[in-house]
Amino acid sequence: MSTSAPLTGAVLPRGRSAAVFSLLLSAAGLMMVWTWTGGTVFAVSAGVLVAAVVLFCLSGRHRAEFEVIGGPLDGARLPRETVEAGTGILLLRTPDGGGARYAVAGSRSLVYRGQAGTSG
């Protein structure tokens, strides 16, 4: 497992948040201009921006990753392809060369269950 995966996963949500924030702030500004001028084009433009935010959030691409909770890989994000359908327990390599067991949760989470080869 690459150690760059957590860094990549940590940067992308901030960019998405900044984009959504900018779009919603622009929509609010357009609504203010609409109230001052009465121009319908400003209200329609604000509606388009809000619709874009809704579609962006519902697209699901940002929810395609699994988040690792607990253990030596806490906070890492793994691509959806890493976890096969029907997997109950996943064994991941840790940076120190060992292994850790993670249970697959239904909410796209991997919950730490102990080191590989131990019960817990």
What is the pLDDT tens value at each position of the chain, 120 positions in all?
Answer: 333 334 344 445 677 788 889 999 999 999 999 999 999 999 999 999 999 999 888 775 555 677 888 888 887 887 777 777 777 787 888 888 888 888 887 667 788 888 876 544
Does this model's pTM top 0.75? My answer is no
Q: What DSSP string describes the chain?
A: --TTHHHHHHHHHHHHHHHHHHHHHHHHHHHHHHHHH--HHHHHHHHHHHHHHHHHHHS-GGG-SEEEESGGGTT-EE-GGGS-TT-SEEEEE-TTS-EEEEEEETTTEEEEEEETTS--
Domain boundaries, the chain: 5-62, 64-115
